[in-house]
Structure 1
Amino acid sequence: MKNEAVSLVNDYSRLTMISQSDVHHKVYDILLKQHGIDVRQRVANERERINAEHYSKKGKRYSESTLKSKVNGIDVMVRDGVLDRFNAILVGLLAAEKDRSLPVAP
């Protein structure tokens, strides 16, 4: 499922010529509006929790790049069981974009 999400993001990114991170943000916005799922906040909460645990053990915090490598939106959606919604939204966006980009027959 995770690989499917990555593939869909890549397909949509290529088709629309927008960055992969912008694709993620677009779908995150739709998830929030349609389903009330705030992926960005969930990722931030998870990173904060991991950083606090690390600080309590080691006395120092992780760098931002380390936190980004440890937790991302796809991982959070897999764990929370909402990756299927992410994929469904992307499939819809891809279908709409393909319809828009097809030439009209005379």
Structure 2
Amino acid sequence: METGVDIINFDAFGYMDSMLMYRNEVRSFLERGGIIAWGIVPTTDSIKDITIGDLMDKMTSAVDRLVDSGIDQKLIITNSLITPSCGTGTMPLEDAKKAMTLTHELTVKLKDKYSIT
């Protein structure tokens, strides 16, 4: 995170705990204007069973854990993007559509929850 990159995109669905281990680095990255692209929507077979509620729980839990470590909630939210966990090119079409729909729905729900316009 100290490399000077502007955006870090990671597989938050599969590796959320790994990222959250680096809370101090995440704080510094966000404070310098970095953006975290949370790849929270799965692009594996998990997409078949995942719900928007599951994704909201996972994402809000991650935000809460960062806030509990002293990172400002507004900073986290305003410096975040929601993405699929990986590319969708090898997914069956219906699964890829579901991943894109869930990505959009999650973004809308998070904006509503955290009062972002």
TM-score (norm 2): 0.31
Q: As a proportion of its length, which structure holds more helix? A: 1
TM-score (norm 1): 0.34
Q: As a proportion of its length, which structure holds more strand? A: 2
Q: Looking at both structures, which has the greater relative contact order when contacts are Cα pairs under 8 Å and sequence separation is at least 6?
A: 1
